[in-house]
Chains A and B, each alone.
Chain A
């Protein structure tokens, strides 16, 4: 039991008739980075909010750092830090004032708090900016301060709700590196929610995939991928210069096709089952007048795992939430498609 940081049992949250989190049960081990993966609205943030004692579960229980989230909520609060989707900082206050204010909430003695703040600022290389107002910072800088703000009480468990949402590629990489470093150096247990598969794949030791309030899979990234590669499903990417809706419809209606996703104007990704699926696909495409330029057999990614399990894309509704312009580069390949076909 000693090595369990978080334990949930049938955690449920309903808002009226809507079930946001539906009997979620999982354990997070001490010192691991646990990923919570799923489309927006899947219930990730609600679960995090319940674990952080910000929201009361309708049903079920959970212990965080060994304390019950309802009965011993203030004990839980002493041991956690939260990096929420919205930055928890006051723009009119300087970086140092912000850190100091939140430190005071934990009754940390003044001198200890001062050294800790200085160390944290050094850790993110922002010590020169300590006296500047947060409002003047770039988004990436703000998020770095935001993360160290959550660490001012040296939490056992750090909750990170979409920590790289809306950041540019450079800052995203920086924050990810920071998360890894904090985990490695302090052994802080981390719960990370994200809709970016790449991020989860890179950072997390174990991943829980959540969809419509339910955990649908929970394992290491490698094992999750085996769910797809272990079956007779093949992931094929066709490059067809004259790709059109009729063609996609024809492929989609094949019995052996699990799902089909159009990546861009010429690329289409197909999850197909069976030994003869390749032949059937090629035959169908050519019969429908499609010209196949290239075909690639893809290794399953976490995206494919999600697609395989739920039959839907993680990308779902993501574009509603991300306000920043669409980004290119690693980890951002999710926003490309403008058209999707589902089964």
Chain B
């Protein structure tokens, strides 16, 4: 049986599958909607940066200030707390990151957080001015909502940045007024080091750029992993597979045809995500498009074996779907599609290194976001290829036996 014949038959089977698919309006709609929802959902619900806006925050200013009597016998009350607040408000009016309100004390802030009215609070203690005037640091307490770690973290970061820069400003003025150092030079005394963050490619990093390549690999994987066992065991249940098996065609043609049809589906969805990512979410593709397509096809190849294996094991469509779901969800969440692998504990990282999706999404991310060339992703390519080849070599004989049970 020549390779040409095998290919010809598989093309017909692929054509049949796609024709069948295209006749269902609902399925076609879903084909487009799925990536749209996926991208929209993932892109918008996850924090797209470390900035916050309009978070309700309550401030309790307990600072009593310090009254000093001047030689002229007039008494002056200094309150660094009030100065601090005024500054904070000025900055906040510019950025709009918080909706500020006032509170009496810690308890009121605590109740507010418990009621869900505010996301955090700031307390300026009563000895704030005294401490500063006596040459010590003024302590400011920031209260956060532990039930919402994401927002807590952001409020923490934003506030400490803001407070730090306010502190720097104050220090600069102090240096200037006390030691008569020109204002422009003060910064180098307070902060001798400065950092500038630079990427490999121009532009600010955004979460879409991180997540889009991962989602493309994931959708391609899902379409193969769910589509392939489903397509074959469904036909087995319906009895139509017998019609193919009873024809003088190679078993390889059947599986190849199905793989081709599923790949086309996966690629279409991947392409939709691509277009959405570029035009709707502002992702810039820095790498070469042919390499991106090549990587997606390689992803397909690496999952084909697994799909066929499940198909061969599962006697019924239901079993296939269950096996699939069990394998797919851990893969989705552990392969660094949504969260970076580096954030995981070491044992989870080890597991994630066993999953091909990890390499697929990493490679795609490197190419799309960082504009990496083929040599930069050669390790991933080798692993994906090896993974696919080994599984395919195991799966094909199993499929053949399964088909003549």
Contact = CB atoms under 8 A, between A and B. Distances in A.
B19 interface: yes
A97 B248 contact: no
Contact of B23 (A84, A85, A86, A92): A92
A316 to B, nearest CB: 23
A197 interface: no
A258 B12 CA distance: 58
Contacts of B5: 107
Given A86-B239, A87-B239, A92 B19 contact: yes
Contact of A86 (B12, B238, B249): B238
B246 interface: yes
Contacts of B24: 92
Given A56-B404, A74-B1, A104-B9, A85 B247 contact: no
A100 to B, nearest CB: 9
A68 B243 CA distance: 20
A93 B16 contact: yes
B42 interface: no
Contact of B19 (A84, A87, A97, A106): A97
Classify the interface of chain B: helix, strand, loop or mixed: helix
A174 interface: no
Nearest to A152: B247
Interface in A88-113: 88-90, 92-93, 97, 101-102, 104-107
B20 A74 contact: no
A92 B20 contact: yes
A215 to B, nearest CB: 23
Interface residues of B, number: 23
A80 to B, nearest CB: 7
Contact of B243 (A53, A88, A104, A107): A88
B23 to A, nearest CB: 4
Interface in B208-263: 238-240, 242-249
Nearest to A56: B404
B405 interface: yes
A201 interface: no
Interface in B242-291: 242-249
Contacts of B242: 52, 54, 82, 84, 86, 88
A88 to B, nearest CB: 3
B12 A90 contact: no
B246 to A, nearest CB: 5
A196 B244 CA distance: 28
B404 A90 contact: no
B273 to A, nearest CB: 26
A105 B23 contact: no
B265 to A, nearest CB: 15
A101 B12 contact: yes
Nearest to B1: A74
A74 B246 CA distance: 9
Interface of B: 1, 5, 8-9, 12, 16, 19-20, 23-24, 238-240, 242-249, 404-405
Please give me the 3 A-B residue pairs with the lowest Cβ-Cβ distance, nearest first: A86-B239, A88-B243, A105-B247
20 contacts: A54-B246, A55-B405, A74-B248, A75-B248, A77-B248, A78-B248, A81-B246, A82-B246, A85-B239, A86-B239, A87-B239, A88-B242, A88-B243, A90-B16, A90-B20, A90-B240, A93-B19, A101-B12, A105-B244, A133-B23
Interface of A: 52-56, 74-75, 77-78, 80-82, 84-90, 92-93, 97, 101-102, 104-107, 133, 149, 153
Given A78-B248, A92-B20, 16 more contacts: A53-B246, A53-B404, A55-B404, A56-B405, A84-B243, A85-B239, A86-B239, A88-B242, A93-B19, A93-B20, A101-B12, A104-B8, A104-B9, A105-B9, A133-B23, A153-B247
